[in-house]
């Protein structure tokens, strides 16, 4: 088995697919290895798609990867990646957690793609590590696991833990392993094959979603709001970050978004609150505080105004939906 500190010696990879996993994340990770093999003109890397019982698992787009092998009947890997996607909490069964802890005790390198980081955190395998997760789940993980250093980086390689966000990020993370073995020239060759114009570093921040045609100054304001919405941001501070006057900032927001900066800030806080209601077991009161609302009544009123129902109803409906669609745990 590869030495944990030597990324260049990693050769065998396992990808444990959880229900609803992100196909694009898994495919990009594997494709980096496939292209490295093609350019090397030999099978320098091997990989296996896994589930606990060997049954192909449906991804978020309804398709499955084949062949899928049983995770319990295969030899140890140099690195094992947990592949998550939508509703990762429901997909992380007790059987999955038990198996992950067993692998953790074997001291193999472990990683995660997209939301698979949640499963590693829930299994207790990320304490003392830095890690990354898709931005939609970032706030929930930070609130639920304050002992873990969770970043908004594209990907993080911290000793024997390799975690990343979704989309193209897994490809760029796997290229770090290729680079450690073959050098930067081979990485550029792979990027050229995939028609990518640049390599991306892990410490690049996940991009904040912005409307098409957003002016640069306004993008700076949106970035500050999205990343620090939970604290008491003043409009003057947002304007300063955008390098605009308050009046200029308000004009830009009205022209491009149809709302004031203050209203947009409240909207961002409410969207974050909705994710926490759906993705965590935090109390409604704690979620309101975590999202910057000064009182439970203010939070409830604002939430009802935006989404048509109070936070507690959102929590009840989310719990009911999760229970009605819960799949049977995989066998231990």
Residue 247 neighbours by CB under 8 Å, 6+ apart:
none
Q: Are 142 and 175 in contact (CB under 8 A)?
A: no
Give per-residue pLDDT as tens, 35-68: 999 999 999 999 999 999 999 999 999 999 999 9
* C-alpha separations of 102 from 74, 76, 80, 94, 332 in Å: 14, 11, 12, 12, 12
Which of 80-89, 251-260, 308-317 shows the lowest mean pLDDT across its residues? 308-317
Q: How confident is the model at residue 23 (pLDDT cuts 50, 70, 90)?
A: very high
Distance of CA 44 to the CA centre of its chain: 28
User: What are the residues facing 132 on neighbouring strands?
Assistant: 151
Pick from 201, 160, 173: nearest CA to 113: 173
Q: Give me the chain's average pLDDT, please.
A: 88
CA distance 82 to 111: 6
Residue 251 has pLDDT above 70, yes or no: yes
Q: In terms of DSSP bridges, do strands 155-158 and 79-83 run parallel, antiparallel, or are they unpaired?
A: unpaired
Q: How confident is the model at residue 318 (pLDDT cuts 50, 70, 90)?
A: low
- Percentage, residues of the chain above pLDDT 70: 93
* Residue 325 pLDDT: 37
Q: How confident is the model at residue 4 (pLDDT cuts 50, 70, 90)?
A: very low
Residue 226 has pLDDT above 60, yes or no: yes
Question: Which residue did the predictor score with more confidence, 291 or 187?
Answer: 187
- Percentage, residues of the chain above pLDDT 90: 52
């Amino acid at each position: 088995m590869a030495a944990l500190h030597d990324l260049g010696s990693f050769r065998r990879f396992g990808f444990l697919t959880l229900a609803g996993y992100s196909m694009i994340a898994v495919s990009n990770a594997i494709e980096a290895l496939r292209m490295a093999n093609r350019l090397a003109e030999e099978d320098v890397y091997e990989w296996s798609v896994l589930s606990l019982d060997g049954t192909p698992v449906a991804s978020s787009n309804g398709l499955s990867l084949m062949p899928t092998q049983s995770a319990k009947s295969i030899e140890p890997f140099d690195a094992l990646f947990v592949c998550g996607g939508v509703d990762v909490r429901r997909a992380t069964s007790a059987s999955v957690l038990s198996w992950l802890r067993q692998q953790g005790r074997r001291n193999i390198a472990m990683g995660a793609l997209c939301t698979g980081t949640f499963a590693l955190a829930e299994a207790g395998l990320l304490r003392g590590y830095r890690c990354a997760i898709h931005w939609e789940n970032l706030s929930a993980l930070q609130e639920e696991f304050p002992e873990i250093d969770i970043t908004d980086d594209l990907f993080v390689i911290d000793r024997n833990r390799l975690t990343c966000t979704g989309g193209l990020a897994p490809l760029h993370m796997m290229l770090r392993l290729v680079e450690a073995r073959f050098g930067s020239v081979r990485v550029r060759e792979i990027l050229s094959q995939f028609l990518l114009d640049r390599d991306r570093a892990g410490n690049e921040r996940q991009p904040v979603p912005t409307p098409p045609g957003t002016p640069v100054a306004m993008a700076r304001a949106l970035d500050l709001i999205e990343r620090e919405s939970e604290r008491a941001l003043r409009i003057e501070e947002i304007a300063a970050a955008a390098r605009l006057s308050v009046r200029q900032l308000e004009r830009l927001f009205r022209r491009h978004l149809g709302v004031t900066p203050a209203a947009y800030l409240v909207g961002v806080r409410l969207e974050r609150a909705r994710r926490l209601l759906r993705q965590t077991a935090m109390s409604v009161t704690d979620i309101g505080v975590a999202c910057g609302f000064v009182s439970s009544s203010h939070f409830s009123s604002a939430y009802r105004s935006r989404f048509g129902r109070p936070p507690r109803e959102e929590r009840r409906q989310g719990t009911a939906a999760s229970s009605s669609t819960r799949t049977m745990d995989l066998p231990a």
